[in-house]
Amino acid sequence: MISLRVSDLKQYIYCPRILYFYYVLPVHRRVTRKMEYGKMEHIEIQKLEKRRGLKPYGILEGKRSFQISLSSTHLGIHGVLDMMITSADSNIYPVDFKHSLRQKDLHQKYQLAAYAMLLEEAYQRPVRFGFLYLIPSKTIVPVEITGSMREHVKKVISAIQNVVMGERMPAYVRSKQRCTDCEFRNYCADVG
Q: What's the CA gap between 53 and 60, in Å, rounded?
A: 8
Instruction: Please identify, using beta-carbon distances, which residue of 116 and 182 lies nearer to ligand SF4.
Output: 182
Instruction: Please identify, using beta-carbon distances, which residue of 64 and 178 lies nearer to ligand SF4.
Output: 178
Binding residues (CB under 6 A) for ligand SF4: these are: 15, 17-18, 172-173, 178-179, 182, 184-185, 188, 191
Instruction: Please identify, using beta-carbon distances, which residue of 65 and 175 lies nearer to ligand SF4.
Output: 175
Q: Are 152 and 12 within 8 A, CB to CB?
A: no
Tell me the closest approach of the beta carbon of residue 55 to ligand SF4, in angstroms: 40
Tell me the closest approach of the beta carbon of residue 153 to ligand SF4, in angstroms: 21
Quote the strand ranges of the chain, DSSP E: 4-5, 62-72, 77-87, 92-98, 129-134, 139-144
Q: Are 111 and 9 within 8 A, CB to CB?
A: yes
| Phi-psi map region of 104: left, alpha, beta (phi>0 left; psi -120 to 50 alpha) | left
Tell me the closest approach of the beta carbon of residue 4 to ligand SF4, in angstroms: 17
Tell me the closest approach of the beta carbon of residue 156 to ligand SF4, in angstroms: 16
Tell me the closest approach of the beta carbon of residue 172 to ligand SF4, in angstroms: 3
Instruction: Please identify, using beta-carbon distances, which residue of 75 and 156 lies nearer to ligand SF4.
Output: 156
Which of 58-64's residues contact partners 24+ apart within 8 Å by CB, and which partners?
58/142, 59/85, 59/87, 59/93, 60/87, 60/88, 61/87, 61/88, 62/86, 62/87, 62/88
Instruction: Please identify, using beta-carbon distances, which residue of 24 and 179 lies nearer to ligand SF4.
Output: 179
